[in-house]
Structure 1
Amino acid sequence: MKKDITIIGVPMDLGQTRRGVDMGPSAIRYAGIVERLEDINYNVQDFGDIEIARPGTIEETIETNLKNLQEVSTASEKLADTVSNVIQENRFPLVLGGDHSIAIGSLAGIAKHYENLGVIWYDAHGDLNTADTSPSGNIHGMPLAASLGIGHESLTGIGGYEQKVKPENIVIIGARSLDEGEKELIKERGIKVYTMHEIDRIGMTRVMEETIEYLSKKTDGVHLSLDLDGLDPLDAPGVGTPVLGGISYRESHLAMEMLAESQIITSAEFVEVNPILDERNKTATVAVALMGSLFGEKLL
């Protein structure tokens, strides 16, 4: 991995309705991410936070049920430009959320620099909803669909182009809560998914070996989008949409360690840390520990 890292905070809480996740970047910084990476000899630049416009109330536009569509779209454009500039400077973009809607901007800024970007979506959810399939209208459940070019044009057109990633270049790991529309889209587009059933059955080692082999053959860069709710709530309680029966802390470390060894990750984001719902910043501390493993931290 590049030894020069730029941290970008995105204090976004408009992609869903539970307040507090906008404090995620601050919580992760407080948990010591800069010091952790500097201790393993990375040159870390903290860009600070993207400015997020605040609506007076949670809004739904006239033509759609999507909440805070304009604000999320505007923030996504800002993030896309920022991430793109970081890559142009030959630095590794490390994005801190915020809710998972920020991935719309991250991928829009990253994908333009690759012919065949791969994506590892480490998450309890598929985030493949649209306005037509979403039960809630929360945009944090739509970023992967939007990045495929599916959904409202204000989300799919971020960065001036539609499809950021091809369905065959995506691997979802840890899924255990999928809406019916998402299941149909996964089957229709042939998206590779390792649910908790597969992780339990074949083990995280094999899941990661297969994921790395699958993406290495067909991509020229891989973005890791890690939602802390991919982990079991016992290990990461400070998330807005916890789902029991998730990936363990140790399994997640193994996954990050194997990605570090593979050297395939070219950008990353860690999202959905909500300090209000947390226990003494436990989830942010977990996030920082996993980032340490991703960037090659070793016990010996």
Structure 2
Amino acid sequence: MKRVDIIGAATAFGQPKLGVDLGPDALRYANLIEEIEKMNIKVNDKGNIYSDFKVEASTHSRRSENNLKNYEQVVDFSEKLAAAADESVKSGAFPLVIGGDHSLSIGSLAGISPHYDNLGVIWYDAHGDLNDSASSPSGNIHGMPLAIACGVGDENLVNIHKTGAKIKPENVVLIGMRDLDEGETRYIKDQNILTYTMRDIREKGISTVMSEALEYLEAKTDGIHLSLDVDALDPEETPGTGTPVGEGLSLWETLLAMNILHDSGSITSMDLVEVNPLLDEGNMTAEKAVAMASALFGSKQK
């Protein structure tokens, strides 16, 4: 890994809490670029991508007729991000997409996946993000990006940047699951998606879980995208996020997991999402997110 493109995904449209669009700059203020450069990696900060739509408190999270909130905004933003991610891979860089809410993965996967025949995905998160407009209790699109990437859901979102599904369910591994909706649980079972709940992690240990996930994916994929939501960690570790769930992973476990992924040499792109500085305590969530990214790029767990 010689060059990393940082792509700021300044979107809050996928969920109701304002401020997560400030996440990319919070990560920069926490020395993201400097920490990656310590690994002798060239960093190209490509700045932030914004939607043509403004984030306005008075109109945020209005439902469209298809039960999706901020629908037009998410479509617009996803197209822009997909183009940037596509260009990054095409240039030979490692795209590090920093957010921003998890709906950004609609765009990142749409732009990255065309460069692979069988892109694998590690979804490191408290949530499965496998809802669609029918199964979603909330209509928040940040709970849908993985389903959309698998070809399930609204046609316009599924067809962002390139027609059809971007990844195959059998090329997905879910890690850290502890808050799944009924429709998500059913989809996981129907598609036989490899899933590690927090109970699995506690029983097996994070090292075994990551090794098993890599073994499962490396056998059948030609690249692996990591999508890391900071709410995978326990809220005591990362308070600055919009949908915290208790009894999550520790920072120590996550740094070890990132080291294992680094040593594998298999990770080809990454999303780092859901850092909301307006909900944070002294930017500590951003600082810990930077530590996680640095561990993926080679900073060793002590």
Q: Which runs of structure 1 show a deviation greater than 2 angstroms over 4 or more consecutive aligned residues?
A: none
In structure 1, the residue matched to 2:47 is 48
- Please tell me whether residue 23 in structure 1 is matched to residue 26 in structure 2: no
Aligned residues of 1:69 and 1:154 also touching (Cα < 8 A): no
Percent of aligned positions that are identical: 53
1:201-229 per-position Cα deviation (integer Å, ceiling 9, x unaligned) = 11101101101111110000000000000
**Aligned counterpart in structure 2 of residue 209 of structure 1, from 208, 211, 214:** 211
Cα deviation, residue 40, structure 1: 1.4
Map 1:239-250 → 2, pairs under 5 A: 239-250=241-252
Cα deviation, residue 160, structure 1: 2.3
In structure 1, the residue matched to 2:263 is 261
CA separation in 1, counterparts of 2:301 and 2:125?
A: 26
Tell me the secondary structure at the aligned position of residue 115 of structure 2.
Answer: coil
Tell me the secondary structure at the aligned position of residue 161 of structure 2.
Answer: helix
Structure 2 letter corresponding to 1:43: K
Moved more, 52-61 or 196-205: 52-61
Tell me the secondary structure at the aligned position of residue 7 of structure 1.
Answer: strand
Aligned length: 298
CA separation in 2, counterparts of 1:118 and 1:298?
A: 24
1:27-77 per-position Cα deviation (integer Å, ceiling 9, x unaligned) = 000000111111111100000000222265133223x11001111011101
1:258-285 per-position Cα deviation (integer Å, ceiling 9, x unaligned) = 0000000000010000001111000000
CA separation in 2, counterparts of 1:234 and 1:60?
A: 32
CA separation in 1, counterparts of 2:268 and 2:196?
A: 22
CA separation in 1, counterparts of 2:277 and 2:102?
A: 15
**Aligned counterpart in structure 2 of residue 157 of structure 1, from 156, 159, 184:** 159
Aligned residues of 2:256 and 2:301 also touching (Cα < 8 A): no
**Aligned counterpart in structure 1 of residue 76 of structure 2, from 74, 77, 81:** 74
CA separation in 2, counterparts of 1:155 and 1:235?
A: 33
Tell me the secondary structure at the aligned position of residue 155 of structure 1.
Answer: helix
Q: Give the unaligned 5+ runs of structure 2.
A: none
Shift in CA distance, 87/100, structure 1 to aligned 2, threshold 3 Å: same
Shift in CA distance, 156/299, structure 1 to aligned 2, threshold 3 Å: closer
**Aligned counterpart in structure 2 of residue 235 of structure 1, from 216, 234, 237:** 237
Cα deviation, residue 161, structure 1: 1.6
CA separation in 1, counterparts of 2:6 and 2:295?
A: 16
Moved more, 208-217 or 47-56: 47-56
1:182-239 per-position Cα deviation (integer Å, ceiling 9, x unaligned) = 0000001111100001001111011011011111100000000000000011111101
CA separation in 1, counterparts of 2:84 and 2:105?
A: 13
Aligned residues of 1:230 and 1:247 also touching (Cα < 8 A): yes
Q: Give the unaligned 5+ runs of structure 1.
A: none
CA separation in 1, counterparts of 2:209 and 2:244?
A: 22
- Please tell me whether residue 286 in structure 1 is matched to residue 285 in structure 2: no
Structure 1 letter corresponding to 2:295: S
CA separation in 2, counterparts of 1:131 and 1:82?
A: 27
Aligned residues of 2:27 and 2:286 also touching (Cα < 8 A): yes
Tell me the secondary structure at the aligned position of residue 93 of structure 1.
Answer: strand
Aligned residues of 1:55 and 1:71 also touching (Cα < 8 A): no
Tell me the secondary structure at the aligned position of residue 159 of structure 1.
Answer: coil
CA separation in 2, counterparts of 1:247 and 1:160?
A: 35
In structure 1, the residue matched to 2:178 is 176
In structure 2, the residue matched to 1:60 is 63
- Please tell me whether residue 198 in structure 1 is matched to residue 197 in structure 2: no
How high is the TM-score relative to the length of structure 2?
A: 0.97
Tell me the secondary structure at the aligned position of residue 100 of structure 1.
Answer: coil
